A and B are shown apart, each in its own frame.
Chain A
Amino acid sequence: MSAVLEQELPPPHRWIAAQRASDVEITQAVADPLFQPAGRTWWLALLASLPFVLWFFGSIGWLFDQGIGIWGINSTIVWGVAIANYVWWIGIGNAGTLISAMLLLTRQQWRCSINRFAEAMTLFAVAIAGIMPIIHLGRPIYAYWLAPYPNTMALWPQWRSALVWDFWAIVSYLLFSILFWYVSLIPDLATMRDRTRTRAGQLLYGAFALGWRGSAGHWRKLQTLHTTMAALGVPLVCSVHSIVGLDFAASLMPGWQEGIFPPYFVVGAMYSGFAMVVVLALAFRWGLDLQAIITRRHFEVMGKILLMASIVMGYSYATEWFMGWYGGEHSDRSLVAFEFTGTYAPLFWALLFCNVVLPQALWFPAVRRSLPALFAIAIGINIGMWLERILIIWNTLSHDYMPSLWRSFHFTFWDWSFLIAPLGLFAFLFLLFVRLVPAVSMFDMRELAHREGAT
Chain B
Amino acid sequence: MSESYRRTDGPGTDTWKVALFIPCYVDQFYPQVGVATLELLEKLGCEVVFPLSQTCCGQPMANSGFGHLTDGCSRLFADNFAAYDYVVCPSGSCTLHIVDHLHVPGREAEVQGIRERVFELTEFLTDVLKVDHLPARFPHRVGLHQSCHGQRGLHLSQMSELNAPDFSKPGTLLGMVEGLELVALDRVDECCGFGGTFCVSEEAVSVKMGRDRIADHERNGAEYITGGDMSCLMHLEGILRRKGSPVQVKHIAEILNQSI
A and B: interacting chains: no
- Which residues of A are in contact with B by a Cβ distance under 8 Å? none
